[in-house]
């Protein structure tokens, strides 16, 4: 340990090199601390001729390892999110059954409406015609069209929900 001049000037000098190599000023000192621990462990087994170079290279390797780890983790997280978000866009069987039953009920309700109300209601709701267009085609007032559409909507709502 005597050959490593560990003082604040030496540390700041090495830290600047680590910042430059890792391009990560926020994490540079942490990388340097971890590199220093590895240097101490490595020196128990082998001689280190250039401790400063060892520290800089080890800190750079730690930064690369962390970057790879974060990248892989982000990719795995995205893949897991993609797997978890796989949704079947098809309605479930009970929804299909209920929709079919509701449609049959609407058809039954339409069949029970007066022919004139049914015609006007369908011209508006199914064909998308405006009240004025319906009134002009049938030779009735807009007010009469409004009343037939409201009557048909009310009747169907009551008929279907009363099911």
Q: Each residue of 21-76: pLDDT tens digit?
A: 888 888 888 988 999 899 998 888 988 899 989 999 999 999 998 888 888 887 77
- CATH number of the domain enclosing 143: 1.10.10.10
Whether residue 160 contacts residue 105, with contact meaning beta carbons closer than 8 Å, is answered with yes
pTM beyond 0.75: the answer is no
- Residue 132: count of CB within 10 angstroms of its CB: 10
Last residue of a domain, one of 84, 116, 135: 84
134 belongs to a structural domain: yes
Domain that holds residue 98: 93-161
Please give the Cα distance from 108 to 132 (Å, whole number).
Answer: 28
The total number of structural domains in the chain stands at: 2
Tokens (6 digits) for 96:
């299909």
Claim to verify: residue 18 and residue 75 sit in the same structural domain: yes
Flag whether 72 is in a domain. Answer: yes
Q: For the chain, what is the radius of gyration of the CA atoms? A: 39
Is 107 found in the same domain as 77?
no
4 pLDDT more than 90:
no
Q: Is 2 among the domain residues? A: no
3-state secondary structure of 144: helix
């Amino acid at each position: 340990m005597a050959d490593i001049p560990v003082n604040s000037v030496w540390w700041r000098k090495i830290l600047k090199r680590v910042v430059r190599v890792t391009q990560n000023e926020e994490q540079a000192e942490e990388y340097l601390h971890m590199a220093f621990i590895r240097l101490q462990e490595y020196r128990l087994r082998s001689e280190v001729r250039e401790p400063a170079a060892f520290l800089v290279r080890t800190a750079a390797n730690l930064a690369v390892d962390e970057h790879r780890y974060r990248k892989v983790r982000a990719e795995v997280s995205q893949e897991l999110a993609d797997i978890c978000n796989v949704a079947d866009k098809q309605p479930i069987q009970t929804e299909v059954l209920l929709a079919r039953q509701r449609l049959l009920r609407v058809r039954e309700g339409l069949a029970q409406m007066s022919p004139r109300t049914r015609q006007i209601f369908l011209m508006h709701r199914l064909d998308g015609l405006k009240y004025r267009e319906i009134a002009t085609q049938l030779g009735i007032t807009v007010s009469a069209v409004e009343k037939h559409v409201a009557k048909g909507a009310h009747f169907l709502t009551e008929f279907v929900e009363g099911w």
